[in-house]
Amino acid sequence: MSPPITGRNGVVTSAHPLASAAGLSILKAGGNAIDAAVATSLVLGVVAPAFSGVGGGGFMLIQLRDEEALYIDYRETAPRRARPGMFTADSEGNVKGFANSMGYASVGVPGTVAGLSYALENYGRMKFPQVAAHAISFAKRGFRVSPFVGTIMSNNVDNAMQKFKSFPETRKQWLKDDRPFRSGDKKTVADFARVLEHVSKEGRDGFYNGWPARAIADDMAANGGLIDEEDLAGYSVQVRRPVKGTYRGLEVRAMPPPSFGGIAIVELLNILEDLDITGLGLNTAETISVMAKALGAVWPDLKRKIGDPDFIDVDTPLLTSKDYAAKVWFGRGERGATADRTGRNWTTHLSVVDKERNVAAITESIECYFGSGVIAPGTGFFLNDTMHDFDIGRKGPNSIAPGKRPVSNMTPTLLLKDSEPYLVTGSAAGPRIVTATLQSILNVVDHSLDIQAAVDAPRFHYQGSGPLKMESRIGPKVRARVREMGFESENPNYVQLRPGFDVYFGGVNAVLVGKKGELRGGADTRRQGGVAAY
């Protein structure tokens, strides 16, 4: 395992080394953690566009020194013309023609520019032109396609090639001689640079009321999409208070609804706090089994109770109470009550701590790899397919409604020790966000791993139905023992950029504040993340 990269003045860890380096340069220039996080996010949208970008949305955790944590919710919303039942399922429950995960009907109103602008204006020190400079430079001058992005395209993950070939602008931008860009190829995105330059000059309104909005709306109108200029002009962020909990004397702050992830993390920690996780051992069959039972109890229960809090009532104090966790744990009944249909969400996560111990962490997404596949002419960025995250039924807490935010698993998470930042963590990868974030916490708190080892440690995933999936580094004896304990086990062997490190199991990028105040960064080897520190 690689040692953690450390510093005392600031650490940025993200899904791409170029993005982390850009964030660190902002810290060195006098910006705070929020400025650095925005710069990192914008660069990720250029150099790793399969996962995030200004055509999507996300959640941002902010904790300024000596202030309470808060979350900026800039999740995508359903267009005004969206309706329950707008997607039709086949006999297996999948949407016909991939209509909710590819093409114009799958696109939700993007929130990233609004969210990042709000964060800068209210909590940062720098202006948009300063933090966008690195992203603009990479978009204009070019960057090398990473092995991860190249592998996704060459393996046609999430129908990447079909997306590229289905839409004329996307074909023009992302195919060379009718083949995708390969790892190491140089790529420029001049149109995207123009968008970022326009937002740098005109601010948030330059995106939502300017020519980018018109370009999106015109393309939607010409191709049966639902989003119009009024949808874009009317988009607004929400500032939300964190879900709170405690775990072995540490304070926990996690993302509230419309995220499922934050309440799930707190409830799972409430259950596991009464168990001897340390004594059971790291990735033993006994530890995996008991954690899977907890996941199998929590997942189906919460999926029936969480939705956009602006549309349904979510009893967060009840669901995050230790009494409720005990009730769910001891009355869990049979596993496998529900399945999660948001499993294709891939996302990206980044964490930043600065020298004043301000904290910023972002989890963002355009949903499936390369989102909807749609690039509006002249804009250069992929639009999301976040309508995929709604349930397709007409009733339920996560059904489609105009202006509604779909449920997400994303949860940038902060642990405090003696009211000071201790661990900043989070992950990519849809429902694996919950299990990967949970395991990163337990690896530090219960198993005493340093941060890079905690991020690199083998993972498993279970959500109450289907096989319990384990990374191949969890050996055959453990897998056999887990099967004896009543779980069907499976090694997905999805995509491995390094033997034994499977991208299926998330992309955790985390910062640990050491005993002497040293900042220690860990970036996920599975997705070729990078840490920058000084």
User: Looking at the annotation, which residues are catalytic?
Assistant: 347
* Rounded Cα–Cα distance for residues 135 and 140 (Å): 9
Q: State how far Cα 450 lies from the chain centre.
A: 23
Structure tokens at 90: 């086949």
Side chain identity, residue 148: F
Describe the crossing of helices 17-28 and 33-47 by its angle, rounded to 10 degrees: 150
What do you get for the CA distance between the two ends of the chain, in Å?
A: 21
The interaxial angle of helices 261-272 and 432-445, nearest 10 deg, is: 40
Closest listed residue to residue 390, CA positions, set 112, 162, 78? 78
What is the distance between the alpha carbons of residues 303 and 400, in angstroms, rounded to a whole number?
15
Angle at 107 between CA 307 and CA 211, to 5 degrees: 125
The amino acid that residue 164 corresponds to is F
Across 270-298, b (16+ Cβ under 10 Å) vs e yields bbbbeeebeebebbebbbbbbbbbbbbbb
User: Nearest Cα to 232, choosing from 110, 128, 113, 118?
Assistant: 110
